[in-house]
């Protein structure tokens, strides 16, 4: 077994004003991360108001999780990267993720969605779905050079993992992908205080950065849908109700695609998005 793990993995953790969350995450890494994998932990303090005591490096000013991940990746000494936010946790299943990881450029695994200690669902990738539909909150181990070639140096970007992976597979290189459809590798916090949720909320008004990439533009409907569901869940609204409303509304997008993109490009939120939110929360 040990002969398969000469590469090692760098665990990159962006952290902003979340010392308590980071402490919990580090305990879960110590408990569940496989000892047979050479590893290091790189913590990027994104200019927290109170310095993070375990930080490897600190940004001089707040840069957002995307730039913090990129900075951590550039410091990594191992050939593979595993990204996780400070408010998330590593699960026992993470050991299975690393049993064959050196043979692939991307290894995808399942995620447990939770609000605090309350489990919302277990999300798992599938061999039957397109690659972009198997991405969920950095549920992957990625080869360092693949990430660095595909990463975007931007301050804040929702669905950054989509950008990176879709750019990577569109390059003139053979990206080997392994999909583990029966493994839960980490817990993703979808509460309103989540680092990723804050990035999502910020990016609702900054979609031009995403729309510049044609592949992401084609996924704009999925982006809005996931945003609505996560916002609703955090407010205690039924996700099923939100999806029902959204599916009815998004059919109109086929007739308004040009108008939608123009509105987003000018920093406006389309009326149908606001209506969907209002109906879901009041409905």
| pLDDT tens digit sequence for 47-72 | 999 999 999 999 999 988 889 999 99
Q: Given the structure tokens 């410091």, which residue do they identify?
A: 75
Rounded mean pLDDT, 30-43:
96
Kindly report, residue by residue over 97-108, the tens digit of the pLDDT.
999 899 999 999
For residue 76, pLDDT over 70 is answered with yes
More confident residue, 156 or 263: 156
Indicate whether 233 pLDDT > 70. Answer: no
What's the rounded mean pLDDT across residues 147-163? 74
**Residue 111 near residue 119 (C-beta atoms within 8 A):** no
Q: What is the pLDDT of residue 94?
A: 96
Parallel, antiparallel, or unpaired for β 39-45 and 57-58? Answer: parallel
Cα–Cα distance, 239 to 247 (Å, whole number): 12
Q: Evaluate whether 47 touches 69 at the Cβ level (below 8 Å).
A: no
Percent of the chain residues topping a pLDDT of 70 = 62
pLDDT at 33: 97
CA distance to 110, 162, 224, 274, per residue, from 250 (Å): 27, 21, 9, 12
The domains found in the chain, sorted by start residue, are 2-191 (3.90.550.10), 208-282 (no CATH)
**Cα dihedral sign for 127, 132, 133, 137?**
positive
Q: Can you point out the beta strands (E) in the chain?
A: 9-15, 39-45, 57-58, 80-83, 89-90, 106-115, 118-123, 140-143, 177-189
pLDDT bin (cut points 50, 70, 90) of residue 234 is: low
Per-residue pLDDT, averaged over 150-174, amounts to: 73
Nearest-Å Rg of the Cα atoms of the chain is 19
Can you read off the two tokens belonging to residue 33? 């991360």
Q: Compute the mean pLDDT over every residue in the chain, rounded to the nearest whole number.
A: 75
DSSP type of residue 109: E
> Residue 195, exposed/middle/buried by CB under 10 A (0-12, 13-18, 19+)?
buried
pLDDT at 133: 77
| Coil/strand/helix, residue 74 | helix
Q: Report which of 176, 180, 42 is spatially closest to residue 98, judged by C-alpha positions.
A: 180
Question: What are the residues facing 176 on neighbouring strands?
Answer: none
Query: Which 3 state secondary structure label does DSSP give 164?
Result: helix
E strand or H helix at 200: helix 195-203
Kindly state the average pLDDT of the residues 75-87. Answer: 96
| Cβ neighbours of 223 (radius 10 Å) | 20
What sign results for the dihedral spanned by CA atoms 200, 18, 12, 77?
A: positive
Q: What is d(CA 283, CA 280) in angstroms, rounded to the nearest whole number?
A: 5
d(C-alpha 235, C-alpha 278), whole Å: 13
213-223: average pLDDT: 43
């Amino acid at each position: 077994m040990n002969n398969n793990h000469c590469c090692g993995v760098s665990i990159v953790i962006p952290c902003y004003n979340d010392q308590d969350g980071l402490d919990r995450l580090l305990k879960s890494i110590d408990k569940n991360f496989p000892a047979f994998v050479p590893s290091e932990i790189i913590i990027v303090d994104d200019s927290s108001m109170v310095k993070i005591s375990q930080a490897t490096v600190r940004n001089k000013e707040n840069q957002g999780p995307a730039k913090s991940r990129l900075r951590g990746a550039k410091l990594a000494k191992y050939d593979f990267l595993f990204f996780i936010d400070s408010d998330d946790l590593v699960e026992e299943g993470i050991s299975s993720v690393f049993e064959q990881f050196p043979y692939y450029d991307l290894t995808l695994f399942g995620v447990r969605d939770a609000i605090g200690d309350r489990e919302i669902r277990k999300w798992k990738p599938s061999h039957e779905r397109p690659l972009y539909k198997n991405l969920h909150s950095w549920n992957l181990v990625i080869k360092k050079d693949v990430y660095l070639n595909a990463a975007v140096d931007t301050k804040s970007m929702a669905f950054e993992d989509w950008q990176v992976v879709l750019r990577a597979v569109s390059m003139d290189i053979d990206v080997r992908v392994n999909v583990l459809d029966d493994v839960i590798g980490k817990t993703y916090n979808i509460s309103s205080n989540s680092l990723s949720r804050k990035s999502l909320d910020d990016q609702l008004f900054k979609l031009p950065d995403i729309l510049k990439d044609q592949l992401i533009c084609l996924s704009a409907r999925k982006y809005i849908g996931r945003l609505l569901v996560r916002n609703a869940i955090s407010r205690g609204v039924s996700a099923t109700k939100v999806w029902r409303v959204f599916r009815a509304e998004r059919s109109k997008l086929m007739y308004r695609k040009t108008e939608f993109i123009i509105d987003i490009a000018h920093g406006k939120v389309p009326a149908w998005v606001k209506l969907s939110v209002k109906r879901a929360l009041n409905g």
